[in-house]
Chain A
Amino acid sequence: MTEFIRLAFCEIKTQIKRYIILVFEMMAAFLVIGFLCSMLSGINMTNQTVNGAGIPADYYRAKSTAVYTDGGRAINGDERQALLIEFIADNFHTEGVTGYTTPLDHPILMATDGYFDIYGLRLEKGRAFNKDEYDSDNADMPIIMGYGFINDYDIGDTYMDKFTIVGFLSDEQYIPELSGRISKGFSVNYNIYTPIKSREWLKENGVSYPTDLIYSENKSELDAINQKAEELGLYAYNFLSADEAEQILINTTSTLNIPLVLITLLITAMSLLCLVQSMLEFVRKNIVELLIHMICGAKLSNIILRVGAGTVLTAFISAAAASLAFRSASTAAVLFITAAAVTVIAVLPIAISLKLKPPIVAVKEEK
Chain B
Amino acid sequence: MLKVNNLVKIYPSGEGKLHALDGVSFEITDGELVAVTGRSGSGKSTLLNIMGLLDKPTEGEYYINDKKASGLPSWEQAKVRNAEIGFVVQDFALVEKYTVKQNVNIPLIYSKKQLDKEKAIREVLRRVGLSDKINTPVYKLSGGQKQRTAIARAVVNDPSVILADEPTGALDSVNANGIMTLFESLSRAGKTVVIVTHDMNIAARCSRRIELSDGKII
Contact = CB atoms under 8 A, between A and B. Distances in A.
A14 B153 CA distance: 18
A299 B55 contact: no
A298 B110 contact: yes
A302 interface: yes
Interface in B24-55: 49, 52, 54-55
A360 B54 contact: yes
Interface string A283-320: 00000010011111111111000000000000000000
Nearest to A301: B75
Interface string B133-157: 0000000000000000000010001
A10 interface: yes
A309 B54 CA distance: 25
A300 B75 contact: yes
Contact of A14 (B74, B83, B98): B98
B81 interface: yes
Contacts of A358: 49, 54-56
B1 interface: no
A14 B54 contact: no
Contacts of A302: 78, 110
B82 interface: yes
Interface in A346-367: 358-361, 363
A106 to B, nearest CB: 51
Given A10-B109, A359-B54, A360-B54, A295 B78 contact: no
B182 to A, nearest CB: 18
Given A359-B54, A360-B55, A293 B75 contact: no
A150 interface: no
Interface string B98-117: 10001000110111000000
Contacts of A301: 75
A299 B75 contact: yes
Contacts of A236: none
B95 interface: yes
A299 B49 CA distance: 16
Nearest to A292: B93
Interface residues of A, number: 20
Residues of B in contact with A, size category: 20 to 34
A7 B110 CA distance: 9
Nearest to B103: A292
B62 interface: no
Interface in A169-226: none
Contacts of B109: 7, 10, 293, 298
Nearest to A298: B110
B87 interface: yes
A59 to B, nearest CB: 70
Given A14-B98, A289-B95, A301-B75, A296 B87 contact: yes
**Which among A10, A14, A295, A297 has the highest number of chain B CB atoms within 10 Å?**
A297
**Which among A7, A299, A301 has the highest number of chain B CB atoms within 10 Å?**
A299
Contact of B78 (A7, A289, A299, A360): A299
Contacts of B49: 358, 360
Nearest to A367: B91
B79 interface: yes
Contacts of B82: 296-298
A298 B53 CA distance: 12
Contacts of A10: 109
A296 B87 CA distance: 7
B94 interface: yes
A360 B20 CA distance: 15
Given A295-B89, A297-B81, A297-B110, 5 more contacts: A294-B78, A296-B107, A297-B78, A359-B54, A360-B55
Interface of A: 7, 10, 14, 289, 292-302, 358-361, 363
5 contacts: A7-B109, A297-B110, A297-B111, A299-B110, A363-B93
Shortest 6 CB-CB contacts between residues of A and residues of B: A297-B82, A360-B54, A299-B78, A296-B107, A358-B55, A296-B106
